[in-house]
Amino acid sequence: MPDHLPRREVLRTAGALGLGAAAAGALSSTAVATTQAGSAAGTPDKLAAMGAHHGKLEIRKDPFGTTPEGVAVDVYTFTNGRVTISMLTWGATIQRVETPDRRGRTKNISLGFDNLPDYAALSPYFGATIGRYGNRIAKGRFTLDGTTYQIPVNNGENALHGGTIGFDKKVWKAKTVRTDDSVGVAFSYVSPDGEMGFPGELSTTVTYTLDRRDNLRIDYQATVAGKPTVVNLTNHVYFNLAGEGSGSIDDHVLELNASSYTPVDAGLIPTGEIAPVAGTPFDFNKPTPIGARLRGDHPQLIVGRGYDHNFVLGGKTDHDGLRFAARFWEPEDGRTVTVHTDQPGAQFYSGNFLDGTFLGIGNKAYRQGDAFAFETQHFPDSPNQPNFPSTVLRPGETYATTTIYTFGTK
Ligand code: BGC
């Protein structure tokens, strides 16, 4: 992929936005970005401090780059004065998540890049909104109402995360959203009938909002026109709660509210079995370090090169029809992220395919197990698995689901 953005511009843009400035609480004026591009390093910190004191909900928009086709990509940065999130219109991608640790020290805890070419060429879905179908469809093929559809395969013989050019590689429309209690961005994308082989024109809006209590709420909505289709949207943010690029997540403690999971074959396609976690390394009902059993001899850990499995979420729903799905805790700095969702499953992925071949946003190589993803969703390969909850969406129906990531410390 050609380096279509002049390198210097990439660096200047990143400098203006990221690394300090993105942590800034005072985000109301785009003039701030222009000034900071050439200004001394102290300024962003001063802004960050101001934001933290006022606890204000603020948002700003800045240019992030241009695609080879000449489409402008923006970065939206929104904050509640404590947590600051940057999102790109490229892939409706979470680029940065800055949260304080137990002692109030703020770091970026999400993996990503500081420039668009790296997202386009290198990203294993860092922070991206995934569609039309999250995770794998066996051989990229499924039959719906008697018609067989073929998605271009991009993961061995299977289709992963919507095929070769999924929603993560599209430039989404963006609209700022604000309430008294929250601020964020509504991203929308219309996927034409037949795109990546999927039937029906799918209109999708995914709204990301941050409230004053450090909840990042993701509301997914979609409708289809013309033909029925299958939909499974998720977000693929990777976290390291000690800071991105800081090493392994082996010591992160995980509590996962699931009493079963869906074992997979060598191509990571579910076998169709719903297997109990009890007595296996997949049981995280009692909080357990991720690394505690990762190197054991369970065949499913070997097949997945670690955890790369869909968990069947259980238990009662609590507020808003959502249920507690998982809590991750990094004991050293004390950051936590807690996930609530209305989805039936979640892919817990221990960063097995990160292999140190490229540098991330903080100029550190990401190696195997340096981050985790927890993708709330329907089960992989549902279009071919009659005993899994259905992912079919028909004209006239609305697909609507919600997931909340809550940032905290303990
Ligand atoms: C998949 C992994 C894949 C990762 C990044 C996860 O959702 O289950 O197998 O490597 O996404 O592409």
128 Cα–ligand 1 center, Å: 12
> Which residue's CA is the nearest one to ligand 1's atom 8?
308
Q: Are 48 and 16 in contact (CB under 8 A)?
A: no
**Does the annotation list 293 as a binding residue?**
no
Residue 315 confidence (pLDDT): 79
CA of 84 relative to ligand 1 center, distance in Å: 26
Which atom of ligand 1 lies at the shortest distance from residue 304's CA? 9
Q: Is 273 in the pocket of ligand 1 (CB under 6 A)?
A: no
- For ligand 1, atom 7, the nearest C-alpha belongs to 135
Distance of CA 349 from the midpoint of ligand 1 (Å): 7
- The token duo for 104 is 């109030």
Exposure b/e, 379-406, CB count within 10 A at least 16 = b:
bbbbbbbeebeebbbeeeeebebbbbbb
User: Residue 346's Cα: distance from chain center in Å?
Assistant: 12
* Chain centre to alpha carbon of residue 159: 19
Q: Which positions are catalytic?
A: 236, 375
Q: Is there an atom of ligand 1 within 6 Å of 240 CB?
A: no
pLDDT of residue 129: 99
For residue 132, say if its preceding peptide bond is cis, omega within 30 degrees of 0.
yes
Going by CA atoms, what residue is nearest to atom 10 of ligand 1? Answer: 353
Q: In what order do the strands lie in the sheet with 106-108?
A: 58-66, 72-79, 84-88, 93-100, 106-108
Tokens representing residue 115 in the block: 């420039």
Residues facing 77 on adjacent strands: 60, 86
Cα–Cα distance between 306 and 373 in angstroms, integer?
12
Report which ligand 1 atom has the smallest distance to the Cα of 380.
Answer: 8
Model pLDDT for residues 290-315, shown as the tens digit of each residue: 999 999 999 999 999 999 999 999 87
Compute the distance from residue 1 Cα to the ligand 1 centre, in Å. 22
In which element (H, E) is residue 51 found?
Answer: helix 42-54
Residue ranges in the chain modelled with pLDDT below 50 = 1-54
Ligand 1 atom nearest residue 135's Cα: 7
Q: Do the Cβ atoms of 97 and 110 come closer than 8 Å?
A: yes
Confirm or reject: Cβ of 135 under 6 Å from ligand 1.
yes
Residue 353 CB less than 6 A away from ligand 1: yes
Structural domains of the chain in order of their starting residue, each with its CATH number: 129-409 (2.70.98.10)
237 labelled ligand-binding: yes
One-letter amino acid for residue 198 of the chain:
F
